[in-house]
Structure 1
Amino acid sequence: MANAAAAAVIGSMPHKRAACAGNTADDRGSWCDYSIDTNWYDEVPDTGVTREYWLELSEIEVSPDGFTRTGMTVNGTIPGPTIEADWGDELVIHVINNLSINGTSIHWHGLRQNYTNANDGVVSVTQCAQAPGDAFTYRMRATQYGTTWYHSHFSLQAWDGVFGSIVINGPATANYDVDAGPIIIADWFHESVYSLAQQAATGGPPTPENGLINGTNVFGDDGADNQTGSRFELDFVPGTSYRLRLINVAIDSFWKFMIDNHTLTVIAIDLVPIVPFTTDVVSIGIAQRVDIIVNADQSDVASDFWLRFIPQSACSANDMADNIRGIVHYSGSTGTPTTSQYDFVDDCLDFDISLLVPHVALDVPEAHFYEEKEEVGLSFASDGTIKWTINDSSLEVQWGDPTVLQILNNDTNFDASQNLIRLDEANEWAYIIIETTLGVAHPIHVHGHDFYLLAQGDGLYSTDTPLKLINPPRRDVAMLPAGGHVVLAWVTDNPGAWLVHCHIGWHTVNGLAFQFAERINEIPSVLDADSIQGTCSNWNAFADGRGIVVDDSGV
């Protein structure tokens, strides 16, 4: 654990802690000498604090819904422990891989990794696979604040249980009394996702047996003698306002969230504070986060209310679609709710762009330097397996030869199957158009940046497509609509090799990804060559003689 003599180093800690001076229930916009108005892309508190965590991956028997199977866990639990820090803190996170035969890497989703590319945790891109028995230390600074998550970026491993939440404390765009912490929603199978990979690659995505809310749910019909597991429960005190941090860690589920009878105020999308708006139903795509405030003002209606995550059948199926529910209890009640859900439209669409107004307003110029157009498609390999493609190319990269190692070795004749785009110039605007004619929606995630979402809609992009250039939404995951397009933009201000991919797990491992090498001549200067080479040596020593081959995209 942390050295007690080093006062600035704080070890693993529970979620509840004191807020920064000035940040009170009556003034959540204040944060010590900073505020919600501070542009965090340009200015970050220098706290002088390092927060240190130890994460150990292992395989154990788990039964989150009462059905027992082998899972992969972080520190023995699903989800793993919450990583918590304050805006501006340094994070030092030690990952120990005690899995029996699986390599690993841990990605810190949405953290920009400013000039710390090698800590992004993407196997085959920013590091070699971390071998069983090996340890790896990630170091990064919390330059943003809000709600996000960490997960394995090694094949399908995340969805066997290797994930957890991240909370970076900072100011907010609306006041609230209590931070109730993360609420993680996951779809869940009763067998390993690895055993389902072939089905996903040949016959389409498997149907999950259940969904888990913060690692728990019932399985089976209400009132049935054979129902197992237990529900997630949340206690409300009447007259109190609560911040809930919603995180979708699913492999293939888009959710609508609601608490019966309660109005929800949305204050942040991904890691970007927004101008608050109210809604009865929250849309949350795969890998997205939505921070909301809910007022406990319905005690005169009932003492118990259903909290619902409803998987959208327009996107995917779930055997427990009508029963992925928790309970909100008022004043210590232990009853079973009889409340009714709100009406909603079953779809796979983000909130409309017009609702997602960043509090710190930033514009995008019409002039641009880079423009890339990426067409999402589908093909079939000679063995009949599905291959998702970008511009007719399915990603194939290698666990033992990551992009950053090639750059360190000055080997920049990248294979076409690496789907690599070079963005060589510094501080230029990059514009990426992603579109598809297929009837499947895709959550598109960009590493290394918050992107500006300039357009999102039906049909293919054309030069007549209107772009929102005045304070467009900023986020790190956006839904590419079925048969539609998105237009993303960012500034090339962060040297590194960065992945862009669909966050449906089945699609990622079957090739729906590309990468960009940003300011490639500067990348070696932000890397720790000894660390990268050491991890690669350990992985290659483990893989040699075991017949281990990459049988998917490599990420």
Structure 2
Amino acid sequence: MKLIVLSSLLTGGLVAAQGLLSTLVGELQTDSPLGTISAPTLPGFLTNNPLPQGFPWGTKTANNTNYYDPPNTGVIRSYDFTISRATKAPDGYARSVMLVNGQFPGPTIEANWGDTIQVTVTNAISSPEEGTTLHWHGLLQKTSQWMDGVPGVQQCPIPPGKSFTYTFLADLYGTSWYHSHYSAQYADGVLGAMVIHGPNTVPYDIDIGPVMLSDWYHEEYFQLVEGVVGTNIADVAPTSDNNLINGHNNFACDPTDSTPCVSDAGIANFTFTPGKVHRLRLINAGAEGMQKFSIDGHNLTVIANDFVPIIPYDTQVVTLGIGQRTDVLVKGKTGNPGTYTMRASIASAPCSGSKNPDATANIFYNTKTENASTSTAWPAFLDSVANQCANDDLTKTVPWYPITPDLNPPVTETIEIDYQQNATGHYLWTMNNSTFRSDYNEPILLLSKMGNNSYPDSPEWNVYNFGSNSSIRIVINNHGALATLAHPMHLHGHNMFVLDVGTGTWDGTIVNEDNPQRRDVQILPANGYMVLQLTADNPGAWPLHCHIAWHVSAGLYVTVLERPADIANLNIPYIMAQTCRDWSAYTNSTVVDQIDSGL
């Protein structure tokens, strides 16, 4: 119905289109409660389950418990997601998108630490049809390595018209998100927040919930990917059209563009209570843009990075690479403070690129009756947007619960990032001179389960078999072509130790060696290096990749094959093989147009 209305708008003249589209935009803007005054605050934990010692996690606290020793509440949190196409105009510019349950952002998943999350995903994508999967970003999947959701790595894609049920333990707590891992599909909207309630390190009064920051493109992802992996260097780094906070922002419509568009779609709104401490769960859910976050006139207290609570510190600006999350506490002003501006800006080139990098939201106190904000940005925020393409110094980010890595790991792998043209003239990213391409029909984990752990004739699979080594150190160097670009590097299945990061070449220094930073995404700086380490306690096939959608599409990816001898003993459920049979049946009659790495 909406597509028909838009077709009528295009033929009915620009003036009529503007008026009718205003109504349509209003309808589409109500799909998700995030960013609206009616958005619910979150509880300290979900109470519809047994509460030993008053909490779902019993006596476990952030101070006395290893995060990697989750409880098991025996409670199942069930969700049903349908992924489909629709027309939406989050910033006023109408375009075809993909939605989860008709929403952008998709529904927020909530659970308690130790609950089992069960999500049935139905693939209703049509016109054209596509496969799909969902990845549960940051969760370890130690008891369900096959549920990580990466096509061609742990599973076959969900074919059109079919459903797949993901079942996994909420094995960490804090803030994260889920997203499609099928090509760059999530750049069209297949994403949502994920909140796992757990012990607090610092008290607060009100949980505002997810604050999802995302660059936004007016062109569909497939067309963008065609340029990214193409032969024209001008198309390989698409520039976003806008920036969004919880799916909202205005856009200056071009009167010469016939696409229906309104310039006052509206910005996100939040409500603070004077004198109270608010928790904001910041998520960079974009495709490329490095985000800088700030609130005029308010300091931010950082309490967690990704799924790792850290010793709190104060700042006026938070940097988030793609996939990163930071939880902050913000104390509300007292008296009658008026209205303030929340800001998310995409960092300036060469960090990232956007035609409209600045997203704003209103922070009202108590009710939406105050005048529009006239607050001004912190100077530190403006300087960071213009000049800083890296996370905060590692010395600032000390995990609350200390864990010391093996300082003499049995294996160290060095990986060189480069950017090259292949024999057909297409531009691709490489890791150690090999670009990655997924085989949707032959997932690496399932091959390993059957004893296939070597790929000498398939270098594009980029599998690094680390055998039974107890810990693994990986040095990633960003010294090749286009080394002026930073990369948010993400490791699945682990909170990696970040031993050091910087420009130039690593000199062997380990920052805070007794208790280094741990997280699942870290920005690898331009012309620099990053040293990560993982304890090999999770047998599986784990992606290590740049989380910029366009970079992983163009092959910036390797698989860390961990403890394959133990993979052989995993009890992988029948549904994984059945989904591959379903996908094989689909591809026997339909040609899948896989133009990129597949991830």
Aligned CA distance change for structure 1 residues 549 and 219 (closer, same or farther; 3 Å): closer
Q: 1:331 aligns with which of 366, 375, 384?
A: 366
Please state if 1:306 is matched with 2:341: yes
Please state if 1:197 is matched with 2:225: yes
* Residue type of the alignment partner of 1:90: T
Aligned CA distance change for structure 1 residues 484 and 51 (closer, same or farther; 3 Å): same
Aligned partner of residue 107 in structure 2, secondary structure: strand
The offset of 1:42, in angstroms, is 4.8
Aligned residues: percent identity?
A: 36
Q: How does 1:44-193 map to 2 (within 5 A)?
A: 44-100=70-126, 101-193=129-221
Aligned CA distance change for structure 1 residues 20 and 408 (closer, same or farther; 3 Å): closer
Please state if 1:448 is matched with 2:474: no
Please state if 1:429 is matched with 2:471: yes
Q: 2:434 aligns with which of 393, 408, 428?
A: 393
Q: Which residue of 1 aligns with 2:22?
A: none
Asked if the contact 2:210–2:281 (Cα under 8 Å) also holds between the matched residues in 1, the reply is yes
Q: Which residue of 2 aligns with 1:6?
A: none
The offset of 1:328, in angstroms, is 0.4
Asked if the contact 1:247–1:287 (Cα under 8 Å) also holds between the matched residues in 2, the reply is yes
Give the structure with the higher percent strand. 1
Aligned partner of residue 228 in structure 1, secondary structure: coil
Q: Give TM-score, length-normalised by structure 2.
A: 0.85
Q: Write the deviation string for residues 396-423 of structure 1: whole angstroms up to 9, x where unpaired.
A: 2211111022223333332221111112
* Residue type of the alignment partner of 1:416: P
The offset of 1:299, in angstroms, is 5.0
* Residue type of the alignment partner of 1:543: T
Aligned CA distance change for structure 1 residues 242 and 272 (closer, same or farther; 3 Å): same
Q: Which residue of 2 aligns with 1:207?
A: 239
Q: 1:268 aligns with which of 304, 307, 310?
A: 304
Please state if 1:351 is matched with 2:392: yes
The offset of 1:138, in angstroms, is 0.8
Please state if 1:512 is matched with 2:542: no
Distance (whole Å) between structure 2 residues aligned to residue 529 and residue 387 of structure 1: 35
Asked if the contact 1:455–1:468 (Cα under 8 Å) also holds between the matched residues in 2, the reply is no
Asked if the contact 1:40–1:143 (Cα under 8 Å) also holds between the matched residues in 2, the reply is no
Q: 1:255 aligns with which of 291, 308, 316?
A: 291
Q: How does 1:490-509 map to 2 (within 5 A)?
A: 490-509=534-553
Asked if the contact 1:67–1:228 (Cα under 8 Å) also holds between the matched residues in 2, the reply is no
* Residue type of the alignment partner of 2:471: W
Q: Write the deviation string for residues 90-132 of structure 1: whole angstroms up to 9, x where unpaired.
A: 1111111111211011100000111311000001100011101
Q: Which residue of 2 aligns with 1:278?
A: 314
The number of equivalent residue pairs is: 530
Q: Write the deviation string for residues 8-54 of structure 1: whole angstroms up to 9, x where unpaired.
A: xxxxx987446379xxxxxx999642212133345322212111111
Aligned partner of residue 141 in structure 2, secondary structure: coil
Distance (whole Å) between structure 2 residues aligned to residue 340 and residue 182 of structure 1: 24
Q: Which residue of 1 aligns with 2:526?
A: 482
Distance (whole Å) between structure 1 residues aligned to residue 273 and residue 459 of structure 2: 58
Aligned CA distance change for structure 1 residues 14 and 520 (closer, same or farther; 3 Å): farther
Distance (whole Å) between structure 1 residues aligned to residue 132 and residue 41 of structure 2: 26
Asked if the contact 1:303–1:331 (Cα under 8 Å) also holds between the matched residues in 2, the reply is no
* Residue type of the alignment partner of 1:188: W
Asked if the contact 1:370–1:431 (Cα under 8 Å) also holds between the matched residues in 2, the reply is yes
Distance (whole Å) between structure 1 residues aligned to residue 150 and residue 96 of structure 2: 24
Distance (whole Å) between structure 2 residues aligned to residue 227 and residue 554 of structure 1: 35
Aligned partner of residue 460 in structure 1, secondary structure: coil
Q: Which residue of 2 aligns with 1:9?
A: none
Asked if the contact 1:408–1:529 (Cα under 8 Å) also holds between the matched residues in 2, the reply is no
Aligned partner of residue 589 in structure 2, secondary structure: coil
The offset of 1:528, in angstroms, is 2.1
Q: Write the deviation string for residues 44-82 of structure 1: whole angstroms up to 9, x where unpaired.
A: 222121111111100011111111111000000111000
Q: Which residue of 2 aligns with 1:457?
A: 502
Give the structure with the higher percent helix. 2
Asked if the contact 1:172–1:267 (Cα under 8 Å) also holds between the matched residues in 2, the reply is no
Q: Which residue of 1 aligns with 2:459?
A: 416
Bigger CA drift: 351-360 or 467-476? Answer: 467-476
Bigger CA drift: 133-142 or 344-353? Answer: 344-353
Aligned partner of residue 166 in structure 2, secondary structure: strand
Asked if the contact 1:398–1:550 (Cα under 8 Å) also holds between the matched residues in 2, the reply is no
Q: How does 1:508-547 map to 2 (within 5 A)?
A: 508-547=552-591
* Residue type of the alignment partner of 1:267: I
Aligned CA distance change for structure 1 residues 18 and 255 (closer, same or farther; 3 Å): closer
Aligned partner of residue 84 in structure 1, secondary structure: strand
Q: Which residue of 1 aligns with 2:21?
A: none
Asked if the contact 2:57–2:73 (Cα under 8 Å) also holds between the matched residues in 1, the reply is no
Asked if the contact 2:213–2:246 (Cα under 8 Å) also holds between the matched residues in 1, the reply is yes
Q: 1:34 aligns with which of 60, 67, 71?
A: 60
Bigger CA drift: 417-426 or 169-178? Answer: 417-426
Aligned CA distance change for structure 1 residues 351 and 527 (closer, same or farther; 3 Å): farther
Distance (whole Å) between structure 2 residues aligned to residue 18 and residue 491 of structure 1: 31
Please state if 1:217 is matched with 2:245: no
Please state if 1:377 is matched with 2:418: yes
* Residue type of the alignment partner of 1:421: Y
Distance (whole Å) between structure 2 residues aligned to residue 353 and residue 439 of structure 1: 21
Distance (whole Å) between structure 1 residues aligned to residue 544 and residue 200 of structure 2: 28
Aligned CA distance change for structure 1 residues 42 and 70 (closer, same or farther; 3 Å): closer
Asked if the contact 1:213–1:232 (Cα under 8 Å) also holds between the matched residues in 2, the reply is yes
Distance (whole Å) between structure 1 residues aligned to residue 561 and residue 45 of structure 2: 38
Aligned partner of residue 569 in structure 2, secondary structure: helix
Q: Give TM-score, length-normalised by structure 1.
A: 0.92
Asked if the contact 1:365–1:469 (Cα under 8 Å) also holds between the matched residues in 2, the reply is no
Q: 1:402 aligns with which of 419, 424, 443?
A: 443
Asked if the contact 2:539–2:563 (Cα under 8 Å) also holds between the matched residues in 1, the reply is yes
Asked if the contact 2:449–2:569 (Cα under 8 Å) also holds between the matched residues in 1, the reply is no
* Residue type of the alignment partner of 1:328: I
* Residue type of the alignment partner of 2:179: H
Distance (whole Å) between structure 1 residues aligned to residue 405 and residue 451 of structure 2: 34
Asked if the contact 1:29–1:174 (Cα under 8 Å) also holds between the matched residues in 2, the reply is no
Distance (whole Å) between structure 2 residues aligned to residue 63 and residue 444 of structure 1: 31
Please state if 1:321 is matched with 2:364: no
Aligned CA distance change for structure 1 residues 39 and 466 (closer, same or farther; 3 Å): same
Aligned CA distance change for structure 1 residues 14 and 306 (closer, same or farther; 3 Å): closer
Distance (whole Å) between structure 2 residues aligned to residue 483 and residue 339 of structure 1: 37
* Residue type of the alignment partner of 2:306: D
Q: 1:230 aligns with which of 266, 270, 276?
A: 266
Aligned CA distance change for structure 1 residues 452 and 133 (closer, same or farther; 3 Å): same
Asked if the contact 2:394–2:511 (Cα under 8 Å) also holds between the matched residues in 1, the reply is no
Q: 1:366 aligns with which of 398, 401, 407?
A: 407
Distance (whole Å) between structure 1 residues aligned to residue 335 and residue 582 of structure 2: 58
In structure 2, stretches of 5+ residues that fail to align are: 1-38, 48-53, 254-260
Distance (whole Å) between structure 2 residues aligned to residue 547 and residue 168 of structure 1: 39
Q: Which residue of 2 aligns with 1:294?
A: 330
Distance (whole Å) between structure 2 residues aligned to residue 398 and residue 170 of structure 1: 37
